Amino acid sequence: MLSTLNSLQPRQLLTQILNFALVLSTAFMLWKGLSVATDSPSPIVVVLSGSMEPAFQRGDLLFLWNRGQDTQIGEIVVYNVRGKDIPIVHRVVRRYGGGATPLNLLTKGDNNMADDTELYARGQDYLERSKDIIGSVVGYIPFVGYVTIMLSEHPWLKTVLLGLMGVMVVLQRE
């Protein structure tokens, strides 16, 4: 392995590093492009709990769309609680306002006994559609998100994977 590293010419090493940077920047640009197209800061999310079973299982990958501002009762939305950065996937069970006044929503997990008022920020009784909602679910792929869950539950796994990717980039020959 060390002989392979030593045999790389500086130009080859630089080319491989630039190729790796190109892959990372392309992924970032695709993510940002998807964010703009869907009008959502996070157009793809992973279900982290069982609160929406049987509709969605833990590890399902959800695709979001935030262009339509007229959210209906029964629609599944993803929202962030003010002051926290964990997206929550739940169903709209009640609407307030709309038209000239801001649209406010009350949500609940399909597998939960009570609505989400306990999950909202202190003093918040509902979600404001224009401020709190990340997007509405328009599609999903079952269980694909388990990779993300594993990486977040086992931080050492991120380091191992990044190290392996780095070694593969350096050792790759064209």
Pairing of strands 101-108, 127-128: antiparallel
Tell me which of 40, 60, 90, 132 is the catalytic residue: 90
Tell me which of 7, 25, 49, 51 is the catalytic residue: 51
In which region does residue 97 sit, left (phi positive, over 0), alpha (psi from -120 to 50) or beta (all else)? Answer: left
Is 51 annotated in the active site?
A: yes
Q: d(Cα 30, Cα 69) in Å, to the nearest integer? A: 24
Tell me which of 7, 85, 115, 116 is the catalytic residue: 116
Sheet holding 76-80, edge to edge: 44-46, 61-65, 133-141, 76-80, 87-98, 101-108, 127-128
Report the C-alpha dihedral over residues 125, 109, 132, 139, rounded to 10 degrees.
-160
8 SS3 class: coil
112 token code pair: 């939960």
Is 90 annotated in the active site?
A: yes
Active-site residue numbers?
Answer: 51, 90, 116
